[in-house]
Amino acid sequence: MSSFATQTLKPPSRIRQFNALTKPRVIQLIVFCALIGMVLAVPGLPSWSDVRVAATACLGIWLVAGAAAAFNCIVEKGIDAKMKRTSWRPTAKGELSDWQTLLFSAVLCALGSWLLYAWVNPLTMWLTFATFVGYAVIYTVILKPLTPQNIVIGGASGAMPPVLGWAAMRGDVGPEALILFLIIFLWTPPHFWALALYRVEDYRKSGLPMLPVTHGNEFTRLQVLLYTLVLFAACLMPFAYGMSGWLYLVAALGLSAGFTWYAFRLWRSYSDDLARRTFRFSLIHLSVLFAALLVDHYML
């Protein structure tokens, strides 16, 4: 075997393996949503003190969220190994032991919690730690293997980042933060069920009771459509409450109409390709929606 082939077959470095445990793409979206909550909590341009608190809060939230993701990899390593989408993870491949992963998770959680408590405020630390418990324990260990509504109930943890961001800057949880929470909470089921539709065989092999496995393709498609309709209404709430202006409203109308249109087409005529495109558009929907909210904030 050539030296080139040997190099290509070498396992990834330990740094890359531990980084993979944190699910970097997911963490990026979490921190982005938390940052939106921070920005909206500060009227006008932030001071240097605000920037310092926000940067520290982003780091602390990133560390605790990474810890939760790593803990999830321990619990689900057997399931991950059966699914094509997750079989590459270091825990699923046996490249990292449970003890290594658990220690890594504990260090990240402890460091992130200390940063939030000491340099941001205790409320943000406790809310972030509660989110860790909600995702890593209540969702991953209890809900996910027991009920097809796992992603609905567990979605509360995934919807917390804007609340954490708001709490970091204000020291409380205002109605604006709860509106952002509601948007992500309602966005989560159609987002994940679109993925589950075209990955249904993976979920069936894993034994997880995801909705397409337990209730079938047609029922799941209807639920995706119904959730996008309710989400459409929720996305208009920032404008109705006075959090945003016309720029956000135009973006919310366009993005929500697009998500609903994808869901309607998926309901009428299913294909794996359309489910995949619906899933990808859901990512665009949330990212651009919150980006529009951010830009709009500074235009008011």
Cα-Cα-Cα-Cα dihedral sign, residues 178, 153, 69, 215: negative
11 DSSP assignment:
P
Cα-Cα-Cα-Cα dihedral sign, residues 38, 40, 46, 49: negative
Quick check: 132 and 156 in contact, CB under 8 A?
no
- Domains in the chain: boundaries: 13-173, 174-300
Assigned superfamily of 13-173:
UbiA prenyltransferase (1.10.357.140)
Quick check: 166 and 177 in contact, CB under 8 A?
yes
Any alpha helices (H) in the chain, and if so which ranges?
3-9, 14-21, 24-41, 48-75, 77-82, 98-119, 122-133, 150-158, 161-170, 175-198, 200-206, 211-214, 217-235, 237-241, 246-268, 272-299
Quick check: 102 and 168 in contact, CB under 8 A?
no
Q: Is the pTM of this model over 0.85?
A: yes
How far is it, in rounded angstroms, from Cα 66 to Cα 72?
A: 10
How far is it, in rounded angstroms, from Cα 209 to Cα 155?
A: 16
Q: What is the pLDDT along the chain (300 residues), one digit of tens a residue?
A: 444 444 444 556 888 888 988 989 889 989 999 999 999 999 888 999 999 999 999 999 999 999 999 999 998 888 878 887 787 788 888 888 899 999 999 999 999 999 999 999 999 999 999 999 998 888 888 887 888 888 888 888 889 999 999 999 999 999 999 999 999 999 999 999 999 999 999 888 878 889 999 999 999 999 999 999 999 999 999 999 999 999 999 999 999 999 999 999 999 999 999 999 999 999 999 999 999 999 999 886
